[in-house]
């Protein structure tokens, strides 16, 4: 999605959105999605934002048939959070495992966190280390930090790590309280976690304008994932009024920091950041 997943889940986050396909994606169909998975993921993400979970699932199931890692990961999110379907952790685990096998680092981190926390899934230190290591090889700093903590079981947890594990245990209210404390102290990553919570309605009522407000705070502080998420909102007009120029500017900032989905979106638009 869950904390690190909150921002990565819908990223897209992470979702490899092709922002250039806005209007075209809305009228797309199965053959379009298979021909252009970026368009399909764009449509599914837009439907997810509007809580049209059945419509989002239809797209992701189509892309999952051809092994699309982002689609598999997001189907896991729907199953774990019970969005438009009964909550089913066994089903979520299966989707996450398939996504991780497709080298999706978001799924790798999520599985590592779930196995580490040992509440929503049985604790399994060996699997936690395996998946966190895989995510860490992608440069995921959250995975790197959690992997380090796994190797030092007696070391005290940081406030951020406490929040991560609380969220990975399904204790969202407690996790959000810690994120708010960190965000109020200027932690851009925690601010982004809160923004994803408000966008997805996890532990709080869904509130896209509040999500956009928090994304902008974190984006101004230099958080690439928040910059990318804000670009998506400005491009789709969800949570903020549509502003394609501002969207392109934030997308460029995220891409210049090496954000994979932002870079992919620029390529799809025929623009490549140097």
What is the pLDDT, as a whole number, of residue 232?
81
Give per-residue pLDDT as tens, 17-43. Answer: 444 445 455 567 888 888 877 777 767
Provide the angle, in degrees to the nearest 10, between the axes of the packed helices 159-168 and 188-200. Answer: 20
What is the pLDDT, as a whole number, of residue 199?
86
Give the pair of three-digit tokens for residue 64.
């999952």
Q: Tell me, rounded to whole angstroms, the distance of Cα 36 from its chain centroid.
A: 21
Q: CA 152 to CA 194: how far, in whole Å? A: 28
Give per-residue pLDDT as tens, 175-216. Answer: 999 999 999 999 999 999 999 899 888 899 989 999 999 999
Q: Exposed, middle or buried: residue 126 (CB in 10 Å: 0-12, 13-18, 19+)?
A: exposed
The answer, yes or no, to whether residue 47 has pLDDT greater than 90, is no
Q: CA 66 to CA 36: how far, in whole Å? A: 12
Q: CA 99 to CA 74: how far, in whole Å? A: 9
| Cα dihedral 75/77/79/80 (nearest 10) | 160
Q: Exposed, middle or buried: residue 45 (CB in 10 Å: 0-12, 13-18, 19+)?
A: buried
Q: CA 245 to CA 22: how far, in whole Å? A: 14
b/e code 181-218 from CB counts within 10 Å (16+ = b)? ebbeeebbbbbbbbbbbbbbebbeeebbebbbbbbbbb
Q: Residue 246: in which H helix or E strand, if any?
A: helix 244-256
The model's pTM: 0.81
pLDDT greater at residue 173 or residue 52: 173
- Any idea what DSSP says for residue 139? T
Residue 66 has a CB neighbour count (10 Å cut-off) of 10
Least confident of 6-15, 44-53, 201-210: 6-15
Give the pair of three-digit tokens for residue 175.
């996790």
Tally of residues, the chain? 274
Q: CA 49 to CA 200: how far, in whole Å? A: 7
Give per-residue pLDDT as tens, 72-121. Answer: 999 999 999 888 999 999 999 999 999 999 999 889 999 999 999 999 99
Cβ pair 18, 265 in contact under 8 A: yes
Confidence of residue 262 (pLDDT cuts 50, 70, 90): confident
């Amino acid at each position: 999605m869950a904390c690190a997943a909150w921002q990565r889940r819908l990223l897209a986050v992470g979702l490899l959105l092709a922002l250039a396909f806005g209007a075209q994606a809305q009228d797309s169909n199965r053959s379009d999605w298979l021909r252009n998975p970026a368009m399909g993921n764009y449509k599914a993400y837009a439907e997810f934002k509007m809580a049209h979970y059945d419509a989002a699932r239809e797209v992701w199931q189509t892309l999952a048939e051809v092994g699309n890692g982002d689609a598999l990961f997001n189907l896991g999110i729907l199953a774990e959070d019970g969005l438009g379907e009964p909550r089913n952790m066994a089903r979520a685990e299966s989707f996450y495992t398939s996504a991780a096998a497709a080298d999706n680092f978001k799924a790798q981190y999520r599985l590592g966190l779930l196995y580490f926390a040992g509440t929503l899934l049985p604790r399994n230190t060996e699997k936690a280390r395996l998946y966190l290591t895989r995510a860490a090889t992608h440069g995921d700093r959250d995975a790197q930090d959690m992997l380090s903590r796994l190797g030092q079981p007696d070391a005290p947890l940081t406030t951020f790590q406490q929040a991560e594990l609380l969220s990975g245990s399904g204790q969202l209210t407690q996790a959000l309280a810690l994120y708010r404390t960190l965000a109020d102290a200027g932690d851009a990553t925690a601010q982004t976690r809160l923004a994803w919570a408000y966008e997805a309605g996890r532990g709080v009522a869904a509130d896209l304008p509040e999500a956009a407000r928090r994304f902008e705070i974190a984006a101004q502080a230099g958080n690439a994932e928040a910059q990318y998420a804000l670009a998506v909102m400005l491009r789709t007009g969800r949570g903020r009024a549509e502003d394609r120029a501002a969207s392109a500017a934030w997308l460029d900032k995220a891409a210049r920091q090496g954000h994979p989905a932002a870079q992919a979106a620029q390529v799809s638009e025929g623009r490549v950041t140097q």
